[in-house]
Structure 1
């Protein structure tokens, strides 16, 4: 990676609950803190992508206060402690969360904003995309990274590429909501649409200026929250009353869809948001029978299944196309292809106020 004279500050967003991967992902131990695709957790993998001290400063992590101890432990264990751990008193979506990080550094700081729970298989390609975006960011552009689509995916938002403004970078023509299947197929055929992967890069001051222009209530509330923040070593606790007054909105809606100088860098880097058990099955190398399994599992005459256990032995005989996930206190069984229905289970558990949403046993 070539970023002469410039250091980039990673911002890792770790506030999500990851309930689509219940029962392994819980409120108190969400998916970014789990080891799902590697011996390291997803948070650790994210931090490791920007651990080269020649090009990156130590990360800023924006997180739920309940996870602070575990986040610190995991980052120290891989030799990548956070420069600051900004602990949200409540969730307000990505636009306010990123504002907290932007307010914690000098305005000229270049921020690389990354979700903590995504998979990037080709890290070198990711670094090349960051290098492509850097000169534009230094000129005041805000950049996002568009994932080259390989299927008509209906679960992602899309970005339509406009005119090329630099080698490998385009002006964003528009952001597009999650499409239906026919529309997604037309996007794939068109060739100018990429998935919105939720990774961004800009100067802190450029983001805050755009926020003041397009979402002044968020800018005001987050500014007040950081001005009155408590600090305990690397931990920053924004003022709860001020932060709670902020509207909840994503960076896409609040800023990126409205700003003028927004660039997209298309990249093929083996990306997945691991947003479901089906997605995990797709990126995990199956055996000869198409099965992916982890933990104590016996599978006989079983095909194309994802079977994982953090607790009891799971034995499967003569079944196909199932997702089976077992923990110490819950078992999930559903057909492959239907893992988005985990949301229905989570909604029912919320209605019942069931302990398996929160605690891990």
Structure 2
């Protein structure tokens, strides 16, 4: 794998994952849960960039509330992070990555930015895409990895793939917001659009320079808050007042859509953002009736259901089709498959009910 330095994985673990309520909650979001395997999604993410494949120790950027949980889970994988940056408040991905770039020294070190709650089934394909990107990264390009689409998804952003600038590497022609159905169908049919998977590779100094040009308030807040941070071993607590000065913005809006040297590596690697219970069903191992059941579940004459029973709970289904049933603690979620994005309506409704 060509590189100027060992690649530093930057794992973003600040999300709340409320779309997978009731199992995912602010105090224990989806990246901390074993949703797709015996290990949690955070642990699986850390394993994608192991030291024996030439990666450096990771930098984790996370919610301060989850500090102990993150350290404990990473210890179980044998991963020793070089830094666990504990955000005093959420400010979206651009400021979070800026903290990591500063922590990495702000030089030519390549940073591989990964959300902590995605699935990548084909790790060799992922590593091959990283290797393809590295020569352009060394030259100062910022690279995103575009997921080869297999259906016209309206819940993802898209990237139009431009001219080739290397082996498997292309210029980005444009970023596209989450499209309506007809536009998504047209982009998939065209063959020159990929999903925006939110995974990036660039040098720390190049990213910070792009921020300084396009979003100077973000980089100023990140640098000052890190200069005044409290450090406890490998835990870094950026100064709260200084970090609060940062605008809240995504890396796409703040930098990637504005910078000149932005490239994309299209890759089919069994990716999913597991953004809903429907998405989890789609990537789960199902029985002969299409049911994905976990926990203490009895399913009789049930077809194409996703069923999750939390600790100490039993779920029994008879003669039902296309249901999502999730029980966690005293909370029960029941809804038809295909409507799991509407969990956000449940979250909003509960906010309006005192004591919920």
Work out the CA distance in 1 between the residues paired with 2:50 and 2:204: 20
Q: Is the 8 A contact 1:308 1:324 kept in 2?
A: yes
For residues 225-267 of structure 1, the C-alpha deviation after alignment (integer angstroms, 9 at most, x for no partner) is 1111110000000000000111000000000000000000000
Three-state SS of the structure 2 residue aligned to 1:23 is: coil
Report if aligned partners of 2:4, 2:108 keep a CA contact under 8 Å in 1.
no
Moved over 3 A (4+): 3-6
Matches within 5 A, 1:189-268: 189-268=189-268
Structure 2 distance, partners of 1:353, 1:95, is 34
Aligned to 1:342: 343
Between the aligned partners of 2:2 and 2:277, the Cα distance in structure 1 is 37
Give the TM-score normalised by structure 1. 0.97
Secondary structure of 1:352 counterpart? coil
Is residue 50 of structure 1 aligned with residue 49 of structure 2? yes
1:52, 1:233 → 2: CA distance? 21
For residue 86 of structure 2, what is the aligned residue in structure 1?
87
1:52 deviates by: 2.9
CA distance in 1, matches of 2:253, 2:298: 46
Quick check: 1:41 aligned with 2:40? yes
Residue in structure 2 matched with residue 10 of structure 1 by the alignment: 9
Correspondence for 2:296: 296
Deviation of 1:3 (Å): 3.5
> How many pairs align?
354
Contact 1:152 1:181 in 2 (8 A): yes
Alpha-carbon shift at residue 221 of structure 1 (Å):
1.1
Q: What TM-score do you get using the length of structure 2 for normalisation?
A: 0.98
Residue 359 of structure 1 corresponds to: none
Query: How far 1:81 moved relative to its partner?
Result: 1.9
Q: Which residue number in structure 1 is paired with residue 21 of structure 2? A: 22
Match of 1:161 in 2: 161
Report the CA distance between 1:269 and its aligned residue.
Answer: 0.1
Unaligned runs of 5+ in 1: 356-361
* 2:183 pairs with 1:183: yes
- Give the structure 2 partner of residue 279 of structure 1: 279
CA contact (8 A) 1:10 1:113 kept: yes
Q: Is the 8 A contact 2:85 2:100 kept in 1?
A: yes
Are residues 1:97 and 2:96 paired? yes
In structure 1, C-alpha distance between the alignment counterparts of 2:258 and 2:270, rounded to whole Å:
29
Output the CA distance in 1 between the equivalents of 2:305 and 2:242. Answer: 48
Distance in 2 of aligned mates of 1:66 and 1:287: 37
Aligned to 1:331: 332
| Contact 1:158–1:196 (Cα < 8 Å) also in 2 | yes
Q: 1:253 to 1:320 in 2, by over 3 A?
A: same
CA–CA distance in structure 2, aligned partners of residues 343 and 131 of structure 1: 38
